[in-house]
Structure 1
Amino acid sequence: MQEQTLTWGQALRIYLKPRVLVMFFLGFSAGLPYLLVFTTLTAWLRDYGVSRTAIGFFAWVGITYSIKVLWAPVIDTVRLPLLTRWLGKRRSWMLVAQLGIAAGLFGLSQVNPQLALTQVALLCLWVAFSSATQDVVIDAYRIEAVLPEYQGAMAANYIAGYRVALLVAGAGALYVAEWGNWSISYMSMAMLMGVGIIATLLIAEPDHARVKREAEVFQHAWVDRVLGGGDHSRLWEWFVRAVCCPFLEFFQRNGRFALVLLLFVGIFRLSDIAMGIMAYPFYLDLGFSKTDIAEIGKIFGFFCTVAGAYLGGVIVLRYGILRPLIVGAAMAAATNLLFAHLAQVGPDRAWLAVVISADNISGGFANAVFIAYISSLTNQAYTATQYALFNSLMTLPGKFISGFSGMVVDAQGYSVYFIYVAIIGTPAILLAIYLWWRDKRTGESGAGPG
């Protein structure tokens, strides 16, 4: 992508385009179920006297989101009876996933955890599975619905909607439970899934005709190469077409450089994820009150994240992806040094506001740009599968490293820990610079738009 000549006003108006605007509502639909099977759920279970040991096991429900790449090939290739003909490839799966979430949340509203904890666990697993499926489809739709230069704006609206949903499913669900009860709370959340359902019914299906023809040629060649020209089962043929071809296409298109791209996807969010798990313990240990954390960290931080995401979307539209990607990587790493400084300053609300502002603006900016970048790496013939792979890869290394965060803090303190976290963000900055330099030198679109 070449540098754009749009004015700032023209760039900002991109957020009013129908397909960009609808991403806010799809983002809301994606974010709503997440906390309802995690932190909000744990509050509900504890309120009903469920043991902490049992509550801990519910964390395993989250594995569903990390392995969604396993069934993404099904979403990419399988047609749903009647629905696909009516709504199209993406909207049909989106509707089924949303109805699954709504049904699961309604089921939870009818269950007493004290009497049927196993049933609660199964319903949570169903909601998480349906939610992860919806994530796969929405990501595929987002990439296929607009031109690559609009992906930053699509990501920004998605992030904004997602963040609003987190507030509704977190604080909102707790308020409803306090005012009424948990049954009413989960039932109201099930009804709010109507936002996503209405959006799905109103949006237009992307055109898949051209990429479908290209995919059929590519798949036919690899089926013959892998299975030979003789007779073979339809299951094996489907496996090669749906599961193998998305990965084969990515490596064939990028060659050995594909390994560099996957490495970059895996390390870009290392600094962000490793810092996040220690944030709340850090605030409390430093002496901030829960009110300070709620007002500055949650409410003020929410607006900063959304502002950063929208800024990222506009910058991508005006200047391409790779240069903002360098800035985003640098900002994400550098803000950890502010946390290290805050550890020395102590419980100063003004400094907390500064740190939260910088961290959330940089986080929103970097996420919007990074989502646009990994979207550009996909082939629209295999959007769901390839993006699900990138999405899983970008969180797993950070989650693994963050598991050691408590040990480092206990041994060396918060200041040293945040300095370490800033340092592990350095490789992402260097790789982002390399990607920009390579794209500038070669002009190859396979290296990513810049």
Structure 2
Amino acid sequence: MTFQDYLDIFRNRRIGAMLTLGFASGLPLALTSGTLQAWMTVEGLDIKTIGFFSLVGQAYIFKFLWAPLMDRFTPPLLGRRRGWLLVTQLGLVGSIAAMAFCPPHEALWALAALATLVAFLSASQDIVFDAYSTDVLRPSERGAGAAVKVLGYRLAMLVSGGLALYLADRVLGWPHMYLLMAALMSVGLVTLIWAPEPDVPARAPRSLEEAVVGPLRDFFGRQGAWWLLLLIVLYKLGDAFAGSLSTTFLIRGLGFDPGEVGIVNKTLGLAATIIGALFGGSLMVRLGLYRSLMLFGILQGVSNLGYWILSVTPPHLWTMGATIAVENLCGGMGTAAFVALLMTLCNRSFSATQYALLSALASIGRVYVGPTSGYMVEAWGWAPFYLGTVIAAVPGVALLWAMRNTVHRYEAQAREPAEPAVPRPA
């Protein structure tokens, strides 16, 4: 494959749609979490009320419960995937704009209801976007597509997070900032006009029962299904452990100023993640899925040694920056390959439900390592803990090596031309 072939992959409409739809997918998240918390804090609400608002994010955890509906039913416009994206994005534009007219002190319950609605619609948009990317990207494009998805999502989080706080505080005020964020959702709506349909549309489930049971029957009917689930849990486990207490380590363990940590984490860390995802996606075109997963998985684990080095050497700003840059670079590469793996494992007829289930399973490590990490640091100290995060990466890499033939088989099947999916007569 020539260099021009690499460029052509990143230039096509399918990859372009990943960038702008990824931006639309990432934009609402901070508006119901960190940015909303900042608004309530500035307005002087008590800490219990602010903490209660964190519950609106539960929709992202339980989104697999209504994913079968989005596999089963097709809206009247733009097909099964783009149609649902149109519905969810129109709802997000309206509900985010409505939040602007509900100041926390004056309309708290209305704000809570709207924040819950935004989170629900955002989680639903994520379901359909993941399914659309699984359906529309060709196997050779999945690495690049995953990288560009990460790029769009991260840029949106920066806009609705740090930039939104600055605009609300210094330029526009909170209501007008939320109106601007609602307007920015139009990026996704404009994209839907030219975003392509899959080369071979997949058959939708014939009934709601098939939409619920079919994805499970399809996945667990495969050889090595349970080992694949274990691989999904373990692959980024070491990465999750390393990141679980990194901010606390840098501030409390090493004594860095919170401002320094914030600037390095939010700017250098974000840039390194984006570069890592794009670089990893480019390498995947050449290396293929299995070799990319193996190489990036090893790099993820080894990069955790940077935190161990920080814990046993005198703290310097440049060593902190180097550690965060390397760890996020390798983590971004691993994320690109991991997202491509999830796409490869999904049956396109049930891609909304299967991707939602697999991504929920993948989040187990990220969600539940926090309490465990705290106990480990308390018992061992920082240096042994970060050596432990390197060891925690080993089972995922070892299981990947043991399952190399299985991953190669799925990779080869994904390259085979799909047959048109025609509904069978009832």
Q: TM-score, normalised by structure 2?
A: 0.92
Aligned position for 2:115: 124
Q: Distance in 2 between matches of 1:260 and 1:447?
A: 18
Report Cα offsets for 1:11-54 as digits up to 9, x if no partner: 24311111112211111101111111111111111111111112
What is the Cα deviation at residue 94 of structure 1? Answer: 0.2
Q: Distance in 2 between matches of 1:54 and 1:91?
A: 37
The structure 2 residue matched to 1:341, chosen from 309, 328, 346, is: 309
Q: Deviations over 1:66-115 (max 9, x none)?
A: 111111100011122xxx3x311111100111111122211111111113
1:162 corresponds in structure 2 to 153
Does the 8 Å CA contact 2:311/2:383 hold for their aligned counterparts?
A: yes
Partner SS, residue 327 of structure 2: helix
Q: Point out where structure 1 has 5 or more consecutive residues left out of the alignment.
A: 1-5, 220-237
What's the counterpart of residue 412 of structure 1?
A: 380
Indicate yes or no: 2:155 matched with 1:186.
no
Describe the superposition over 1:306-357 as per-residue Cα deviations: whole angstroms up to 9, x where unpaired.
1111111111111210111011221222222211111222431111121011
Which of 184, 201, 226 is the matching residue for 1:259? 226
Q: Is the 8 A contact 2:296 2:330 kept in 1?
A: yes
Deviation track 1:370-427 (CA, whole Å, cap 9, x = no partner) reads 1001110111111111111111000023311222222222333222222222222211
How many residues align structurally?
A: 413
Q: Which amino acid aligns with 2:125?
A: Q
Mapped partners of 1:198, 1:411: distance in 2? 53
Q: Give the structure 2 partner of residue 312 of structure 1.
A: 280
Once superposed, which parts of structure 1, at least 4 consecutive aligned residues long, lie more than 6 Å away?
446-449
Q: What is the one-letter code of the residue matched to 1:143?
A: T
Asked if the contact 1:271/1:398 (under 8 Å) is kept, the reply is no
- The corresponding residue for 1:147 is 138
Are residues 1:42 and 2:11 paired? no
Equivalent positions of 1:335-414 (< 5 A) are 335-414=303-382
Q: What secondary structure does 1:395 align onto?
A: helix
Aligned-pair CA distance for 1:304: 1.1
Cα 1:287–1:67 change in 2 (3 A) is: same
1:205 aligns with 2:203: no
1:435 equivalent in alignment to 2:403: yes
Q: Is the 8 A contact 1:72 1:384 kept in 2?
A: yes
Q: What displacement does 1:162 show?
A: 0.9
Aligned to 1:324: 292
Structure 1 residues 79 and 439 mapped into 2: Cα distance closer, same or farther (>3 Å)? Answer: closer
Distance 2:349 2:73 in 1: 13
Relative to structure 1, is the Cα distance of residues 23 and 97 closer, same or farther in structure 2, using a 3 angstrom cutoff?
same
Alpha-carbon distance in structure 2 between the residues aligned to 1:400 and 1:132:
20
| Residue number in structure 1 paired with 2:216 | 247
> Mean Cα displacement is larger for which, 90-99 or 110-119?
110-119
Shift of 1:173: 0.7
**Pairing partner for 1:276 from 243, 254, 265:** 243
Q: Does 1:289 align with 2:257?
A: yes
Counterpart of 1:299 (choices 267, 277, 283) is 267
2:19 counterpart letter in structure 1: F
Alignment check: 8 A CA contact 1:439 1:448 kept: no
Cα contact 2:72–2:208 (8 A) shared by 1: no
Secondary structure of the corresponding residue to residue 403 of structure 2: helix
- When the two structures are superposed, what TM-score results if normalisation uses the length of structure 1? 0.87
- Once residues 178 and 287 of structure 2 are traced to their aligned partners in structure 1, the CA distance between those partners, rounded to angstroms, is 43
Q: Secondary structure at the match of 1:404?
A: helix
One-letter code aligned to 1:432:
L
Is residue 110 from structure 1 mapped to residue 77 from structure 2 by the alignment?
Answer: no
AA in 2 matched with 1:367: T
Q: 1:63 aligns with which of 58, 63, 66?
A: 58
How much does 1:206 deviate? Answer: 2.2
Between the aligned partners of 1:204 and 1:169, the Cα distance in structure 2 is 27
| Contact residue 244 and residue 369 of structure 2 kept, 8 A | no
CA contact (8 A) 1:36 1:169 kept: yes
CA distance in 1, matches of 2:384, 2:59: 34
**What CA distance in whole angstroms lies between the structure 2 residues aligned with 1:401 and 1:295?**
25
Q: Distance in 2 between matches of 1:425 and 1:445?
A: 23
Contact 2:150–2:277 at 8 Å: present in 1 too? yes
The answer (yes or no) to whether the contact 1:94–1:137 under 8 Å persists in 2 is yes
Amino acid at match of 1:324: S
Give the Cα separation in 2 of the matches to 1:156 and 1:52: 37
Task: Give the fraction of aligned pairs with identical amino acids, expressed as a percent.
Answer: 34
How far apart in 2 are the matches of 1:7 and 1:347? 44
Query: How far has the Cα of 1:446 moved from its partner?
Result: 7.9
